[in-house]
């Protein structure tokens, strides 16, 4: 396997991770709902956007620096919240948070993380963001928000598109769980992935530590998966945004927006920013890609709040295309997970380096020196049907 500095693309990082991470956890990241059509579209639709090349322009003194929800970022990229990150590599959330902190980009910890809020806070020095699922047990959610405040989390990312769980066939077939069940197949996988296994033996973090020990009847790990499946709140409504915001007292970013009317509702109910996202294609299969929907969301609310994009980012070129279509920043999920699986903290750093270099070179070849100057004028063509077409997003 090539050393990390020899890996030049996110696709190569994905291949490296596949060789090191057990199948059920690699598949957990590399999967979508049902037929995975939306998962594939998230990435494929970026390729249908062509850039406008410019020459004989001054390319000196380029800057990718920006802000996301009022915080400085070395480039318009944040680490997205992903569940079970600590199953890609031992203590994975801590490793990813450290890499993000050193690189100067925001890190978001998932409610369904393996490492807890406190674990990450104890192993980092700068504030990070916390992603919140609203569950039926509102007393637990109140305590979770209070824990995020105590850990000095600087923003909450409120995920709205997981009221019920989408059907993900790979997870069902693999019997994916955390901690993993020691079936003969999994024992065989560990024997084939000894570095992963040794790392896991060296940590006490194997389950959902934001939940275990903090919720009554959730200490029995055999019942935890049933508890979480029953806890996502199908009655979630827009009024919950205001409730969460009041309880937290800081910026609340609403994630899971894929419709202009929903974007307007999120802003009306106090969202400080929104993330255009289809949950990585893991919820409604057949929904449009995030990048296809982005322009109409920007048209609807882009003047009243920051609009970010999540889903399908595999290169710095993808970041630039999202920025050209109006995003103020982007989130990467699978890309950093593959870096984590391939090389731990150093692998996440390498992923960020790859994206940063691709973004910088692409911006220069498009004739821009500052990421804030990127816009529609940098797009040559978009080979995607319009929204009102029979083949469009809501045809």
Whether 382 maps to a domain, the answer reads: no
User: Residue 228: what pLDDT?
Assistant: 67
> Does residue 377 carry a pLDDT above 90?
yes
Domain CATH code at residue 72: 3.20.20.70
Angle between helices 194-201 and 184-192 (to 10 degrees): 100
Whether 58 maps to a domain, the answer reads: no
Q: In the Cβ-directed half-sphere of 328, how many Cα atoms lie within 13 Å?
A: 22
> Closest Cα to residue 274, out of 257, 291, 299?
257
Per-residue DSSP letter, 235: T
User: Residue 371: what pLDDT?
Assistant: 98
Whether 232 maps to a domain, the answer reads: yes
Q: Which residue has the higher pLDDT, 197 or 180?
A: 197
Parallel, antiparallel, or unpaired for β 252-257 and 155-159? parallel
Instruction: Domain count for the chain, please give it.
Output: 1
Cross-strand bridge partners of residue 135: 232
Whole-angstrom Cα distance, residue 95 to residue 106?
Answer: 14
Could you tell me the pLDDT band of residue 210, with boundaries at 50, 70 and 90? very high
Whether 201 maps to a domain, the answer reads: yes
Whether 55 maps to a domain, the answer reads: no
> Does residue 390 carry a pLDDT above 50?
no
**Which residue among 206, 214, 269, 279 is the active-site one?**
279
Instruction: Give the lowest-confidence range in 38-47, 52-61, 256-265, 384-393.
Output: 384-393
Q: Which residue has the higher pLDDT, 343 or 235?
A: 343
- Mean pLDDT in residue range 326-352: 98
> Does residue 139 carry a pLDDT above 70?
yes
> Closest Cα to residue 85, out of 28, 137, 128?
28
**How many C-beta atoms lie closer than 10 Å to residue 329's C-beta?**
26
Cross-strand bridge partners of residue 159: 255
Cross-strand bridge partners of residue 156: 130, 252
Whether 379 maps to a domain, the answer reads: no
CA dihedral of residues 172, 176, 177, 180 (deg, nearest 10): 140
Containing structural domain, residue 38: 4-43+66-358
> Does residue 331 carry a pLDDT above 90?
yes
DSSP notation for 322-334: HHHTT-SEEEESH
Whether 373 maps to a domain, the answer reads: no
Q: Where are the alpha helices (DSSP H) in 326-388?
A: 334-365
> Does residue 45 carry a pLDDT above 50?
yes
Could you tell me the pLDDT band of residue 393, with boundaries at 50, 70 and 90? very low
- Does pTM surpass 0.85? yes
pLDDT (tens digit per residue) in 268-321: 999 999 999 999 999 999 999 999 999 999 999 999 999 999 999 999 999 999
User: Residue 314: what pLDDT?
Assistant: 98
Whether 374 maps to a domain, the answer reads: no
> Does residue 178 carry a pLDDT above 90?
no
377 carries an active-site annotation: no
């Amino acid at each position: 396997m090539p050393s990390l500095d020899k890996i030049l693309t996110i696709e190569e990082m994905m291949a490296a991770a596949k060789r090191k991470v057990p199948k059920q956890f690699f598949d957990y990241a590399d999967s979508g709902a049902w037929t995975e059509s939306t998962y594939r579209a998230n990435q494929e639709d970026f390729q249908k956007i062509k850039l406008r090349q410019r020459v004989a322009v001054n390319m000196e003194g380029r800057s990718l620096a920006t802000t996301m929800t009022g915080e400085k970022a070395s480039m318009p990229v944040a680490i997205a919240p992903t569940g079970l990150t600590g199953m890609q590599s031992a203590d994975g959330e801590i490793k990813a948070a450290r890499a993000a902190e050193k690189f100067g980009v925001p890190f978001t910890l998932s409610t369904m993380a393996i490492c807890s809020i406190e674990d990450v806070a104890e192993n980092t020095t700068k504030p990070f963001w916390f992603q919140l699922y609203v569950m039926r047990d509102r007393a637990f959610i109140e305590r979770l928000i209070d824990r995020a405040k105590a850990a000095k989390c600087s923003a909450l990312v409120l995920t709205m598109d997981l009221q019920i769980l989408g059907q993900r066939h790979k997870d069902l077939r693999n019997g994916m769980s955390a901690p993993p069940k020691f079936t003969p197949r999994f024992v065989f996988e560990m024997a084939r992935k000894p570095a992963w296994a040794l790392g896991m033996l060296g940590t006490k973090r194997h389950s959902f530590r934001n939940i275990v020990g903090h919720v009554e009847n959730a200490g029995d790990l055999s019942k935890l998966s049933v508890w979480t499946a029953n806890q996502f709140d199908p009655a979630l409504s827009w009024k919950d945004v205001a409730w969460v915001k009041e309880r937290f007292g800081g910026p609340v970013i609403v994630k899971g927006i894929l419709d202009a009317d929903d974007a307007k509702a999120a802003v009306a109910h106090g969202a400080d920013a929104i993330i255009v996202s289809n949950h990585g294609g893991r919820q409604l299969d057949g929904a449009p890609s995030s990048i296809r929907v982005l322009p109409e969301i920007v048209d609807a609310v882009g003047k009243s709040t920051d609009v970010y994009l999540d889903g399908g980012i595999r290169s710095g070129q993808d970041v630039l295309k999202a920025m050209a279509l109006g995003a103020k920043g982007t989130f990467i999920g699978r890309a950093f997970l593959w870096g984590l699986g391939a090389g731990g903290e150093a692998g996440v750093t390498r992923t960020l380096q790859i994206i940063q270099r691709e973004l910088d070179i692409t911006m220069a070849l498009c004739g821009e020196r500052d990421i804030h100057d990127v816009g529609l004028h940098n797009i040559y063509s978009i080979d995607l049907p319009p929204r009102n077409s029979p083949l469009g997003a809501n045809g």
